[in-house]
Structure 1
């Protein structure tokens, strides 16, 4: 895959009539680094992909997604308010676009009403990463490794799901979130169900 990705970078660069030195100067990466990437001798990180994609003016996913021999043409739609709902202590999860098989992420609208860790089910953890964006209200994120973090409307956060964490609602009304969980390995997250 690294060699195919390197070839994609090379072809995109050449299409824009850029030399390795041009790309180096514009991206801040060394010519040596770029040469290793193009020749499949170095794996690309998200940070490197973002820098290169910005210069080449292509979506960063061009460099991060594994190429498929036959492109898929799937889609999943959840109309507003029609996602499957799971209610747990102090939290309401609405599952979004859940009908894909073999997906790599879960997507949720989450409403947090609990005003303490006890009121939202306590600590939780899972493999992969968790992305949260506050759509409305104020959220306090608790983790075992950091001080509590207050997030307001429009704020977003990405963190390792294996780090124990919990949510608390601050303010007068509930906190409404958009959440995505990657499923890199078997999920250990206490997924919302009747048990809470």
Structure 2
């Protein structure tokens, strides 16, 4: 997971793109892309998606191990956690690896009092099961307050964002399509 910056640089060079070319295609600044490729800056999922699109690959490429073996079972000690958006939420991949995979199962730990700054919408579906704590979802400006054991399932094309209203962490099981990590 720590080698995402190396994979980005390698792919960019394979496609004979300069940092300036990549900047123009993604809308990300040249200096930011340079920092990313040197491993000197954090990378949000939104920025990674822009880079993936410009390099004409799926974002999942950056998170797959360098083997072609299919894996159906992922032991607890093999699950990888990572953060995005400067370390806000903690994502833990729970998926196996095999050709044609369509679901992205994750656990997501939301820090105390976390609230997304702006809503998102994209293709796919999202399903969440609250394991610990509480989570408030805003879908098309409608508020849904979920408690432990509650679930929510909606098309990702609807405007959505979430927050943890508690002074403690909340944890959800998330299953989304398409594969984003």
Alignment TM-score, normalising by the size of structure 1: 0.50
Task: Please give the alpha-carbon distance, in whole angstroms, between the structure 2 residues aligned to 1:124 and 1:139.
Answer: 16
Taking a change above 3 Å as real, the CA distance of residues 154 and 160 of structure 1, as seen in their structure-2 partners, is same
Taking a change above 3 Å as real, the CA distance of residues 109 and 128 of structure 1, as seen in their structure-2 partners, is same
**Paired residue for 1:176?**
171
Task: Please give the alpha-carbon distance, in whole angstroms, between the structure 2 residues aligned to 1:81 and 1:174.
Answer: 21
CA contact (8 A) 2:114 2:165 kept: no
CA contact (8 A) 2:112 2:166 kept: no
Number of corresponding residues? 110
**Structure 1: unaligned runs, 5 residues or longer:** 1-73
Task: Please give the alpha-carbon distance, in whole angstroms, between the structure 2 residues aligned to 1:130 and 1:144.
Answer: 14
Taking a change above 3 Å as real, the CA distance of residues 156 and 107 of structure 1, as seen in their structure-2 partners, is same
CA contact (8 A) 1:123 1:164 kept: yes
Deviation of 1:145 after TM superposition, in Å, equals 4.0
Mapping 1:20-99, distance limit 5 Å: 76-80=72-76, 82-89=78-85, 90-99=88-97
**Paired residue for 1:160?**
155
Deviation of 1:112 after TM superposition, in Å, equals 0.9
**Structure 2: unaligned runs, 5 residues or longer:** 1-69
Q: CA RMSD for the aligned pairs?
A: 2.2
Taking a change above 3 Å as real, the CA distance of residues 96 and 121 of structure 1, as seen in their structure-2 partners, is farther
**Paired residue for 2:132?**
136
Task: Please give the alpha-carbon distance, in whole angstroms, between the structure 1 residues aligned to 2:122 and 2:146.
Answer: 21
Q: Which has the larger radius of gyration?
A: 1
CA contact (8 A) 2:136 2:144 kept: yes
CA contact (8 A) 1:129 1:159 kept: yes
1:7-46 per-position Cα deviation (integer Å, ceiling 9, x unaligned): xxxxxxxxxxxxxxxxxxxxxxxxxxxxxxxxxxxxxxxx
Deviation of 1:123 after TM superposition, in Å, equals 1.9
